Amino acid sequence: MAGRRPKAAASGEGRTARPSERHCVLVTGFEPFGGEDVNPSWEICKALPAAIGRSSIERLLVPTAFGRAVETVSGAIRRLDPALVILLGQAGGRSAVCVERVAINVDDARIADNAGAQPIDEAIAPSGPAAYFATVPVKAMVAAMREAGVPAEVSNTAGTFVCNHLLYGVLHFLATGARRSRAGFIHVPWLDRQALARPGEPSMALATMARGVEAAIAAALKAPIDVKMAAGKLD
């Protein structure tokens, strides 16, 4: 399933790219939140290679804050105009790396963000559609991660916190600006060290998650059209 094609974002760290460089990939990760001292999404960003195939990797650290997260990434998109935008976020409690299929137009925060905001039942874009589908090949990305030996699955909910807010906000920015970049979101589990304080909770090694994200990006760059495979849920 595909929505309209969005546009990509600029990076906070690493090589400085020129706006005309269409072969860069923007990969974003969040700062720690919820009392954590680390966020695996940003650790994965730092662990990625400088390039995947012929595409350079641009990294951007995103504030875990409603509004500011979208502003940060959309500002980067204006500067870089990358071919691909891959947003990463932490989903503690999940046992696999999850490629999100859809973002919904609602903020409903169970906890406050890092700026102290806690929107409840608020639209992200009051005039926007109810939802956007990611414009990356989600199933091809999942298949590539599994081929690389990384547990992966398609997810049909990005939650209602800042991760969903960012995915929806970026897709809305790209769609309404008639930009060409494709964008998607990958949720990752706890790091092993985070799970030490949570007996029984699933976790994954940083090297494994980074390998999976690298494989997913490579697949997204190769496959403008998604593969057809069963990846639905019964519940």
The residues annotated as belonging to the active site are 100, 163, 187
The separation between CA 229 and the C-alpha centre of its own chain, rounded to angstroms, equals 22
Q: Which residues contact 18 (CB under 8 A, 6 or more apart)?
A: none
Tokens 């909770």 label which residue? 201
Distance (Å) of CA 151 to CA 2, 90, 94, 142: 24, 15, 11, 9
Give one DSSP letter per residue of 114-125, joined into a string. TTS----SB-SS
CB atoms within 10 A of CB 4: 15
Find the DSSP H helices in the chain: 40-47, 68-80, 138-147, 162-176, 192-195, 206-222
Angle at 204 between CA 211 and CA 89, to 5 degrees: 75
